[in-house]
Structure 1
Amino acid sequence: MLVTFEGIDGVGKTTQLNLLKEIYKDAIFTKEPGGTKFGEQLREILLNQNISFRSEILLFLADRSEHYERVIKPNLGNLIISDRGFISGVAYAMANDPSLDIENLMLFNKFALNNDFGSKFVFFKIDEKSLISRLNLRHTSDNIEKRGIKYLLRVQDYMQMIFKNSKFNVLEIDANDEILNIHKKIKEFIG
């Protein structure tokens, strides 16, 4: 079973993933981008070099396809928990260029993922004030975070729209909830 954690930077995904690693010792924990050697190289490019938005989309798709073939597909009989996935890819692309056709983006991702979108999604949402506070605590920011708070909130809005218009099994998390309450909800959702 593939469970994908979706949400913008600063919503607490990493905190929750670290708590789950203590419980699910046999699970496969991975991330996009960067869950493979190829993905690590792409992650460096995506986070540290200025490239065009369309090139960015294609690199994310290349990473997603490689990640699926090397990590997800061989482990489908196990619990796989991924920090981000295709929902992020589509949402970030739409936030960069709202004129993009979301149906085409979904088709590209369907192709990259061999028609396998996964089993469950945990979607972390945050309000603007809390996001500002959390990001101000960080000492560095990558090219994505440098696009600003409004950009990140647009990405979050697109994530929410995608989930609302889909039939995916989604647990929506209020990122301002207590860490242990969030952890409990996620454990129950994973089953």
Structure 2
Amino acid sequence: MNQSSNRGLFITLEGIDGAGKTTQFDAVVRTLRGAGRHVTATREPGGTPLGERIRELLLHETMTTSTEVLLMFAARQEHVLRVIEPALLRGHDVVCDRFTDATLAYQGAGKGIPQDRLQTLARWVHPGLQPDFTLLIDVPVELAVQRLHAQQRETDRFERESAEFFARVRQHYLGMAAAEPERWRVIDGERNVDLVRDDVIFNIKKIIQHIE
């Protein structure tokens, strides 16, 4: 963990599309604030005015995977410099819906960009910065796809990827979690949404106890 005594916590949520990750985001923020902590809530891609414009391109415009990666890291550079690092230095906890782990899983494992190339970009864009804790909301691919199909809205181009794509992404997430168990908390997202939320809250409370 890279937290100094007066530096905030950097907590991220990860998972494949349809896992219910975004649904649990508010529970993380509320739990931290309920413990008296200052929280900056944000997301990727996005988090800044420029990042949100890049997000629209990423979600809806056709592009090569290399262009996709470079846009992801361009948005992330703005996000780190203008939002994440300043908030952490003020002593705020930062809760972010996705970060570089998502790029390693989606553009790396999912789309075949070499991991060492992505890690080089990560070291350039946010040297020395990684999440202190990451919650992985994990669900079987079949359930995630069912949830996406049940949504009453137009899906974005990531959500329209194949089940085989999401299987590669999920396995990479689980591999990262297994390799770094001190940082990752794997949450079973297949259960009722209230049970998942209870598990999320329990894990956040344990994190707070761990640092205090």
Structure 1 gaps of 5+ residues are: none
Q: Greater Rg, structure 1 or structure 2?
A: 2
Counterpart in the other structure of 2:26: 18
Partner amino acid for 1:10?
G
- Equivalences for 1:56-75 in 2 at 5 Å? 56-75=68-87
Three-state SS of the structure 2 residue aligned to 1:3 is strand
Sequence identity percentage: 27
Point out the more displaced range, 87-96 or 155-164: 155-164
Residue 132 and residue 80 in structure 1: after superposition, are their counterparts in 2 closer, same or farther (change >3 A)? same
Partner amino acid for 2:126?
L
The alpha carbon displacement at 1:162 in A equals 2.7
Q: 2:145 aligns with which of 132, 135, 139?
A: 132
Residue 190 and residue 4 in structure 1: after superposition, are their counterparts in 2 closer, same or farther (change >3 A)? same
Q: 1:78 aligns with which of 92, 103, 127?
A: 92
Point out the more displaced range, 162-171 or 103-112: 162-171
Partner amino acid for 1:142?
D
Point out the more displaced range, 49-58 or 162-171: 162-171
Three-state SS of the structure 2 residue aligned to 1:145 is coil
Residue 47 and residue 170 in structure 1: after superposition, are their counterparts in 2 closer, same or farther (change >3 A)? same
Q: For each residue in 1:100-147, what CA deviation from the matched residue of structure 2 results, as whole angstroms up to 9, or x when unmatched?
A: 331231121121112211211111111123213211221221011111
Answer yes or no: is the 8 Å Cα contact 1:53–1:96 preserved in 2: no
Residue 164 and residue 103 in structure 1: after superposition, are their counterparts in 2 closer, same or farther (change >3 A)? farther
Q: For each residue in 1:23-62, what CA deviation from the matched residue of structure 2 results, as whole angstroms up to 9, or x when unmatched?
A: 4343110001011111101000000100000000000011
Partner amino acid for 1:58?
L
TM-score (norm 2): 0.82
Q: 2:200 aligns with which of 183, 187, 191?
A: 183
Query: What is the CA–CA distance in structure 1 between the aligned matches of 2:140 and 2:134, rounded to whole Å?
Result: 20
Residue 29 and residue 147 in structure 1: after superposition, are their counterparts in 2 closer, same or farther (change >3 A)? same
Q: Does 1:102 align with 2:133?
A: no
Residue 42 and residue 95 in structure 1: after superposition, are their counterparts in 2 closer, same or farther (change >3 A)? same
TM-score (norm 1): 0.90
Query: What is the CA–CA distance in structure 2 between the aligned matches of 1:124 and 1:180, rounded to whole Å?
Result: 10
Structure 2 gaps of 5+ residues are: 1-8
Three-state SS of the structure 1 residue aligned to 2:160 is helix
CA RMSD of aligned residues (A): 1.8
